[in-house]
Structure 1
Amino acid sequence: MKRLLITGSNSYIGNSLIEWLKQYSSEYIVETISLRNESWENTNFSQYDTVLHLAGIAHVSSDPKQKELYYKVNRDLTIETAEKAKQDGVKQFIFMSSIIVYGGSVLNNGMIDKSTVPRPRDFYGDSKLQAEQGIVSLESENFKVAIVRPPMIYGKGSKGNYPKLSKLAKATPFFPNIENKRSMLHIDNLCEFIRLLIENEEKGLYFPQNKEYVRTSEIVKLISHVHRKKMILTKIFNPLILLLRKKVNFLNKIFGDLVYEKNMSNYKQEYRIRNLKETITVTELGHTK
């Protein structure tokens, strides 16, 4: 029986993991804690084997007024939580970072490999990277630190770009057919990966992703198919999109390339329990057909 503490009440990943672990109810005890006020500092962490740190600011902001808050929450609070976990005798600390730490270091083809050096382009990515650096320094023989840098996470009830694509796929009969590549990670695959990290008491840096790279047009077409709507992919807009893609951030997010080299994401046990088609069906309908 392993005891897990999740920081960050009502987080999407946290709530999803709690549901996922219910199928292993005899193997895990899971509790959550809010870090919104200082009362958490009085909680005794010694009863837990693992702390999964999800508390933080998840969205990207370019507002300079928010910069101090990002570092206070995403960096300082992460390090403070890890320090307390270590002091109280917790064996493992798992930190949810992000692919965004690579920022401007991504090559022209959007490929990230093991030699790619993180170079954040905003204070969200930089606060995450500095948090990583701060907690790695705490690692010891009795305190294992695992850092997860996932790509875009999606699933039923997720936020971010996926719901926007889903809404668009259900509303339009046409979509640009751009040959781009993206790494993505379905929430069920992520939850299984986290479970394995806990089960195996892992430490180190991890890059989980779905088995398949995806094209944005492929996702939109799959969503339309699930809802039994006809979708026509067209290349008529491609010249304009390809011209503006690198200049317009919104277009780059939708049609740009951003992938992890596939070998980076391999693990000794299979965590990718759903393929792309299954993940789209589950995300859209809440169940497989």
Structure 2
Amino acid sequence: MKPKKKVLITGNLGYIGSVLSGYLIKKNFIVKGLDVGYFKKCNFNFYKNDKISQSIKDIRDVNFNDLKNVDIVVHLAGLSNDPLGELAKNITNEINYKATVKLANLAKKSGVQRFIFTSSQSIYGISKISKELDEYKSVKNPITQYAKSKMKSEKYLLRINSPKFNVIIFRPSTVFGVSNRFRSDIVFNNLMASGFVKNEITINTDGKPWRPVIHVKDVCNALYAGIVAPSKKVNGQIYNLGIVGGNYTVKQIALNAKKAMNNCKLKIINDHKDPRSYKVSFNKIYKDLKPYYAPKYTLKEGGKEILSFFKKIKFSNIHFKGQKTNRLVRLKYLIETKQINKKLRFNTK
């Protein structure tokens, strides 16, 4: 019997990491978590992950001991979207880029076999073409500090990739679905939350911008595929992470939320323009990672799941607008209450 492989998940106490931990445990991996703990208390206890060896540590402080006996690293940790990235631009570079470089170098020296990095489709910037964007040929135009940090990280990781240190990069679509650390600041979750709390779904734009979306469990399935697929298939590869048919306009996403909410009101305000509009191709991930990657969750299933979750936890406006489900609100609260400083480090007594 082969010994179990040990996976280090950075950012395991985040939205995706909270689901991925249990997913990999069920797949018979030994899971170690490393997380700074910003969102540790934003927990709904929907899933139980008792079999994790947990380290509460800033990713900027990672060292060799954190990688002892680790076979695979799944690197999720970082300031996780454009608004968070703009909160402290220089710190975003420190956390998302410099810490990634440090972690990857330590991982390679420690004998880690695979390094799986979650990048972002934000690196495509503002797309002015209707054609679906692919991983290599499509123009990259990162605009925000968050997107720039992800792009720089991708380039560095591919430079240190080798036959013994496999680098696999995923660029996820906007994620939706239930997690222990649910987020209501991402598009479908936000629209569902609005419908549940206010009985009205509000779109501030005209609803025409395109957004690719994917369920959090399908993200976990893709990361698992990156772990188990043959090296010759995935080594040094970049994948847009999404599902066929997963490109929607914001209005189409809202209509799915409206249907899941038993046809509550839909209001299109159209009081500002959103230049971010892009459709993404997922041909490569289906081609390379078949049969390991088998996504199956649509907005319909996701809507039913989220509605059930809301009812179970008695989701309220406090949840919807508060720090428990809004990452930027949470970080600002930690700063205002002097729990973390301007460098986004926890203050020590």
Does the pair score TM above 0.5? yes
Change (3 A) 1:37 1:13: closer
Report how far residue 145 of structure 1 moved.
0.3
Q: Whole-Å Cα distance in 2 between the matches of residues 194 and 66 of structure 1?
A: 29
**Secondary structure, in 3 states, of the residue corresponding to 2:104?**
helix
Contact 1:74 1:128 in 2 (8 A): yes
- Structure 1 residue aligned with 2:212: 183
Output the amino acid matched with 1:21. L
Contact 2:117 2:168 in 1 (8 A): yes
- Structure 1 residue aligned with 2:91: 69
- Structure 2 residue aligned with 1:192: 221
Counting aligned pairs with the same residue, the percent is: 22
- Structure 2 residue aligned with 1:158: 183
Q: Whole-Å Cα distance in 1 between the matches of residues 217 and 184 of structure 2?
A: 15
Q: Whole-Å Cα distance in 1 between the matches of residues 225 and 185 of structure 2?
A: 26
Q: 2:301 aligns with which of 255, 278, 285?
A: 278
Contact 2:6 2:69 in 1 (8 A): yes
Report how far residue 172 of structure 1 moved.
4.9
Change (3 A) 1:23 1:69: same
Report how far residue 63 of structure 1 moved.
8.4
Q: Whole-Å Cα distance in 2 between the matches of residues 10 and 65 of structure 1?
A: 20
Q: Whole-Å Cα distance in 1 between the matches of residues 137 and 207 of structure 2?
A: 28
Change (3 A) 1:6 1:268: same
Q: 2:244 aligns with which of 190, 198, 211?
A: 211
- Structure 1 residue aligned with 2:133: 112
Are 1:258 and 2:278 an aligned pair? Answer: yes
Q: Whole-Å Cα distance in 1 between the matches of residues 251 and 87 of structure 2?
A: 36
Q: Whole-Å Cα distance in 2 between the matches of residues 62 and 49 of structure 1?
A: 31
Are 1:85 and 2:107 an aligned pair? Answer: yes
Report how far residue 49 of structure 1 moved.
1.4
**Secondary structure, in 3 states, of the residue corresponding to 2:241?**
coil
**Secondary structure, in 3 states, of the residue corresponding to 2:160?**
coil
Report how far residue 277 of structure 1 moved.
1.2
Instruction: Name which of structure 1's ranges 95-104 and 167-176 shifts more when overlaid on structure 2.
Output: 167-176
Contact 1:175 1:217 in 2 (8 A): no
**Secondary structure, in 3 states, of the residue corresponding to 1:258?**
coil
How many residue pairs get aligned? The number is 270
Q: Whole-Å Cα distance in 2 between the matches of residues 214 and 227 of structure 1?
A: 18
- After TM superposition, list the pairs within 5 Å mapping 1:1-289 onto structure 2: 1-24=4-27, 27-34=28-35, 35-36=57-58, 40-43=62-65, 45-61=67-83, 66-104=88-126, 106-109=127-130, 111-113=132-134, 114-156=136-178, 157-162=182-187, 163-170=189-196, 171-172=198-199, 178=207, 181-200=210-229, 201=231, 202-203=234-235, 204-212=237-245, 213-231=247-265, 241=270, 248-249=273-274, 252=275, 257-266=277-286, 267-269=289-291, 270-286=293-309
Q: Whole-Å Cα distance in 1 between the matches of residues 60 and 24 of structure 2?
A: 28
Output the amino acid matched with 1:279. G
Contact 1:46 1:89 in 2 (8 A): no
| RMSD after superposition | 2.8
TM-score (norm 1): 0.82
Instruction: Name which of structure 1's ranges 148-157 and 34-43 shifts more when overlaid on structure 2.
Output: 34-43
Q: Whole-Å Cα distance in 1 between the matches of residues 100 and 7 of structure 2?
A: 17
Q: Whole-Å Cα distance in 2 between the matches of residues 21 and 63 of structure 1?
A: 28
- Structure 1 residue aligned with 2:45: none
Q: Whole-Å Cα distance in 1 between the matches of residues 87 and 282 of structure 2?
A: 38
Output the amino acid matched with 2:26. Q
Change (3 A) 1:174 1:14: closer
Instruction: Name which of structure 1's ranges 178-187 and 73-82 shifts more when overlaid on structure 2.
Output: 178-187
Contact 1:190 1:271 in 2 (8 A): no
Report how far residue 108 of structure 1 moved.
3.2
Report how far residue 179 of structure 1 moved.
5.4
Contact 2:64 2:110 in 1 (8 A): no
**Secondary structure, in 3 states, of the residue corresponding to 1:31?**
strand
Q: Whole-Å Cα distance in 2 between the matches of residues 284 and 91 of structure 1?
A: 40
Change (3 A) 1:36 1:110: farther
